[in-house]
Structures are given as structure tokens and as C-alpha cells.
Amino acid sequence: MRALAVAATFGVLVALVVVYFIFFLESGPAAIAATRGSDGSADLTLQTVPSYGHHPFPDWVSYMAKDPQGKWEHTTIFKVPAHTLIKVTIYQYDGDSGLRNAFLSGVSGTTGDIETINGTVEHGINANDAAHTFTIPDIDVNVPLPGINPNAKNPCGTAPCSLAEAHNTITFSFRSPGPGSYRWQCFVPCAAGFLFGNGGPMQTIGYMSGLIEVS
């Protein structure tokens, strides 16, 4: 009986490892290519939403991206050309969670080390006001994204969100590096229901982390 119990437990563990491999490593969202501009730059348009609202994790916070045809897609894998100015627009619909490390409240690695928030140029934000960040550690890019007003009358509920719903508009640019795959992620612990706000969407490509594919 003991041998059978050990064998059954081992079988369950193997099954869980297989499921993890298939779900997290083999599956993943499709990549979206940046839109090339007439000036030689490339444009990425993103949004952050307080809950995805769809299968398989409807309550997870998430990023989304607009494809070249103008459709919002649930992906965080972006294809950009090498050694090119990448112009980013992020519509930020989530409330603030705050940063545990105030260093990440400053802008770095962008053109001029600045971001524009609702038309105002900023070098950073109050750490307590952060909802998310857009951070590419390998190239030292960090952009904090402020949360919407907690008293906003028309918050977004389900992705994709519209411009008629409460949001902040953040723009910035950075120069892409040489060819390669660069991990990016949010560093605000915004995963409600997970230990210390980490786990879940924070570590899952397609939600709060992704890849910059440079070619």
C-alpha cells in the first residue's frame, strides 16, 4: 500500500510538471510587430487594464497591444527593428498599487530620461501613485505609470478599454538595441490574491511581463 501511495504521488507530480510545461512554456501569445513610421521610427501602442475579463484568467491585471490594423490583442510580445527609435503610447486604466522600491519611480533609458503624462513632461512620479511600470532591465529602460484617480466616475471593467473610460495617457521613446530577445515586465506588485502581490500575472507572459523581439 505504501508503495502504491508513493507511486500515485509521484504520478501526480509528474502530471503537474507536464501541465506546467505545456501551459507556461509551450503555449504563449502571438507577437505583434511595431508600426513603422514615415520618419524611420516604429510605434507601439499599449494599454494596461485592471482585469482582463476573459478566459483563462478573467480577474488578472494585464497589458494589451494594438496591432498594425488597429485591433487590440492580448499579447506582450513585441517585434521591433534594431537600432531604431521606438515611440510608445500607453493608455493606463488601472488604479495605483504603489512601488516597494522608490528607485523605480524615476524614468530612465528613454529619450531625455522623460515620459509625458497627459501632456506634461515628467522625469518620474510619486512612488505611491504607481499602478504599473514598463521596464526592460537589459537596456535600463524604466517608465512608471501613474494610477487613475480613485474617484473616477467611469473606470474600465473588461479589456480592451476604450478612450471614453478613465485613463492616463503616457508617451515616451527609446532606442532599440541590437538583435536579440529582451525580457520586459511590470515591477509594481499588482497581482491581487498572490503572496506579496507577486506571482500569477506578474510572472506570466501575456499579462504583466513579455518580450521585446529585436531584429
**pLDDT(63) > 70:** yes
Task: State the cell numbers at 153.
Answer: 466616475
Radius of gyration of the chain (CA): 19
DSSP state of 165: S
**pLDDT(166) > 60:** yes
Give the predicted TM-score (pTM) of the model. 0.86
> Is the bond into 50 cis (omega within 30 degrees of 0)?
no
Cα gap 52→54, rounded to integer Å: 6
Mean pLDDT (whole number) for 84-97: 97
Place of cell 523581439: 213
Q: Give the CA angle between residues 144, 39, 34 to the nearest 5°.
A: 50
The values of phi and psi at residue 131, to 5°, are: -95, -45
> Which strand (E) or helix (H) includes residue 15?
helix 2-20
Residue 126 one-letter amino acid = N
Place of cell 510572472: 203
pLDDT, one tens digit per residue, over 9-36 is 767 676 665 555 455 444 579 999 999 9
Choose among 118, 46, 45, 32: nearest CA to 80: 32
Q: In what order do the strands lie in the sheet with 32-33?
A: 32-33, 77-80, 209-214, 180-185, 130-136, 141-146
Residue 130 contacts residue 96 (beta carbons within 8 Å): yes
Task: State the cell numbers at 111.
Answer: 529619450
**pLDDT(172) > 60:** yes
The values of phi and psi at residue 168, to 5°, are: -110, 140
> Which strand (E) or helix (H) includes residue 5?
helix 2-20
% pLDDT > 90, the chain: 79
